[in-house]
Amino acid sequence: MQRVLAGSLRWASQIHLPSFSSSLFFDNTQTQLQQYHHFHSAKDFEPQSWNSMEGLVQCSANHVPLSPIGFLERSSKAYRDNTSLIYGSITYTWLQTYQRCLKLASSLTQLGISPGDVVATFSYNLPEIYELHFAVPMAGGILCTLNARHDSAMVSTLLAHSEAKLIFVEPQLLETALGALDLLAQKDIKPPILVLLTDFESFTSSSYHNYNNLLENGSYDFEVRRPKSEWDPISINYTSGTTAAPKAVVYTHRGAYLNSIATVLLHGMGTRPVYLWSVPMFHCNGWCLPWGAAAQGATNICIRKVFPKAIFDNIHLHKVTHFGAAPTVLNMIVNSPKDNIHLPLPHMVEIMTGGSPPPPQVMARMEEMGFRVNHIYGLTETYGPATNCVCKPEWDALPPEERYALKARQGLNHLAMEEMDVKDSVTMESVKADGKTIGEVMFRGNTVMSGYFKDLKATEEAFEGGWFRSGDVGVKHEDGYIQLKDRKKDVVISGGENVSTVEVETVLYSHEAVLEAAVVARPDKLWGETPCAFVTLKEGFDNNNVSVDHIIKFCRDRLPHYMAPKTVVFEDLPKTSTGKIQKYILKEKARAMGSLS
């Protein structure tokens, strides 16, 4: 037996079973075995078929644990003198990046990092965060990238939960990080060692460990600690918390390797692309592209904050070929003042967009500007991208409205995800491929998480029935493509009818004055719930020229009346750091309004 899903991520050396923190400590090996059998099918214990064929063996010559660490090692030779990273005036080659990661991994072990220890980061997209995606697993550690927009209380909670031994912090977030460490100390929890990232000029401090000093003290001769099993954890990713408190999703070396390759393929990244880091590396490990970009010898352009002018400036300056962004970022681009937009583009730029269903109108405008938009779908639990909407040549002959409606679907599973389906969540039967019958989107494959760290109940619920239950509801079309209709928790039930908030939002986005829109349920004594729309207006529009009644009528003219919003609120929408609208905050506001009836 080589693996077990359980509470702690430190692997015991004698029987290859993890040891456990006090909160989830199993009293004896028998309990661990029961847990193991619960999460593994009989298939895991069947004799392997190749054993029946004489002359075959499994050995180190033909079996090496999969790990994305090897991507960097190869690129240091294949793309030795090519540029790997650019951040302002800072540039590195692939050989330099490999050497820096070796030295950093060496210093991590000198600071006491052992295999299975958690190393956290608290930073935006800096070159050092890219390097840590390799250096931490090269030292045998588990990377935990924390959302740079968290406050001290949340950082403290996640550090305690992850049991991080080190935390790398950029100077601009130092005050927040120190507040988190103080909160840990108040609870008698040993805080992690703090290492300061010092890419900022003129910032010096002798109070903390220093990233540059770690590099200076590290050794080129460090022997990389490769995973003993490809099922060893490589990272912990906390969900973004758009609907609830964050959960700790565990990725393996195997899953990271496979999803990196799949994402590179679906993004159309050939050899030596130029990738702009607009997706936060703290979100699903940047959709696994720190590793994937290394596999292709990409030039990585790091930017701390994402805004349209920075995107256009880097496209023209560095000849960016690819970047990723949430639909809200695309919406920012198409609605940005002309001074921030540098058109025409020097070449076609490939964009992956995901996180929420993109409005077809936004996709259409992006392509008019010279971008090619590849719509993907996935969750933190699927290592980020799990599907993409594979475009077909015959769609080009369709009217624009119909063409972009097809492109806005979530599509098909990518090559590393074995199966995706839309199922009845009770019977587990597949729904009809009629584009109408609603079910829950589910996944099975090698790029599904190992589980939620320290939350066995949530893991069991997520894997009930032998599939990963996404919590998203959707339909399956006749061509096999899926289309999301909503999160299960977001569906509005009005008078017994299910209202897809995504469909209502798509109509709202088609209004010339609407910049952003989100629809949630408002309680109603007569109907149970009614749709409540929160809307941000574009510049040049306000309550004087766009009224609530006008927006409601606009929707009623284009939707069944029960689906049209009964309430409209004009305000800025709360978002996560990755651009996802935080609907749980809007739900609280709608609940506080009380019933319309």
Provide the CATH number for the domain around residue 445. Answer: 3.40.50.12780
Cα–Cα distance, 207 to 531 (Å, whole number): 53
Statement to judge: residues 332 and 208 lie in one domain = no
pLDDT of residue 206: 62
CATH number for the domain harbouring residue 497 = 3.30.300.30
Statement to judge: residues 334 and 478 lie in one domain = yes
- How many structural domains are present in the chain? 3
Q: Which of 224, 253, 282 is the last residue of a domain?
A: 253
Statement to judge: residues 244 and 133 lie in one domain = yes
Specify whether the CB–CB gap between 568 and 535 falls below 8 A.
yes
Statement to judge: residues 429 and 384 lie in one domain = yes
- CA geometry: angle at 157 spanning 156 and 158, to 5°? 95
- Residues ≥6 apart with Cβ < 8 Å to 154: 147, 246
- Residue 343 covered by a domain: yes
Positive or negative torsion for Cα 217, 222, 226, 228: negative
Q: Which of 489, 523, 540 is the last residue of a domain?
A: 489
Statement to judge: residues 232 and 92 lie in one domain = yes
Cα–Cα distance, 518 to 535 (Å, whole number): 7
Range of the domain at 326: 306-489
Tell whether the model's pLDDT for residue 82 goes beyond 60.
yes
Cα–Cα distance, 564 to 288 (Å, whole number): 39
Give how far the C-alpha of residue 377 lies from the chain's centroid of Cα atoms, to the nearest Å. 10
pLDDT of residue 208: 84
What is the rounded average pLDDT of the residues 407-421? 95
- Residue 472 covered by a domain: yes
Statement to judge: residues 317 and 439 lie in one domain = yes
Statement to judge: residues 499 and 427 lie in one domain = no
Instruction: Determine whether 342 is exposed, middle or buried from the number of CB atoms within 10 Å of its CB (0-12, 13-18, 19+).
Output: middle
The band of 16, judged by pLDDT with boundaries at 50, 70 and 90, is very low
pLDDT digits (tens, 9 = 90+) for 272-296: 999 999 999 999 999 999 999 999 9
Statement to judge: residues 468 and 516 lie in one domain = no
DSSP E strands in 279-345: the ranges are: 299-302, 322-325
In the numeric block, which tokens belong to residue 453?
């760290």
What is the rounded average pLDDT of the residues 357-366? 85
In the numeric block, which tokens belong to residue 396?
């080009």
Cα–Cα distance, 154 to 150 (Å, whole number): 6
Minimal CA–CA distance to 520: which of 497, 493, 549?
493
Amino acid present at 102: L
Beta strand pairing call for 233-238 and 142-146: parallel
Minimal CA–CA distance to 354: which of 321, 323, 333, 391?
323
Instruction: Determine whether 446 is exposed, middle or buried from the number of CB atoms within 10 Å of its CB (0-12, 13-18, 19+).
Output: middle
Q: Which of 449, 464, 489 is the last residue of a domain?
A: 489
Statement to judge: residues 135 and 238 lie in one domain = yes
Listing DSSP states for 457-496 in one string gives HHHHHHTGGGSEEEEEEEEE-TTS-EEEEEETTT-EEETT
Statement to judge: residues 509 and 466 lie in one domain = no
pLDDT digits (tens, 9 = 90+) for 527-578: 889 999 999 999 999 988 999 999 999 999 999 898 999 999 999 999 876 6
The band of 6, judged by pLDDT with boundaries at 50, 70 and 90, is very low
Cis peptide before 280 (omega within 30 of 0): no
pLDDT digits (tens, 9 = 90+) for 301-346: 999 989 999 999 999 999 999 999 988 889 889 999 888 899 999 9
Statement to judge: residues 474 and 550 lie in one domain = no
Statement to judge: residues 482 and 494 lie in one domain = no
- Residue 327 covered by a domain: yes
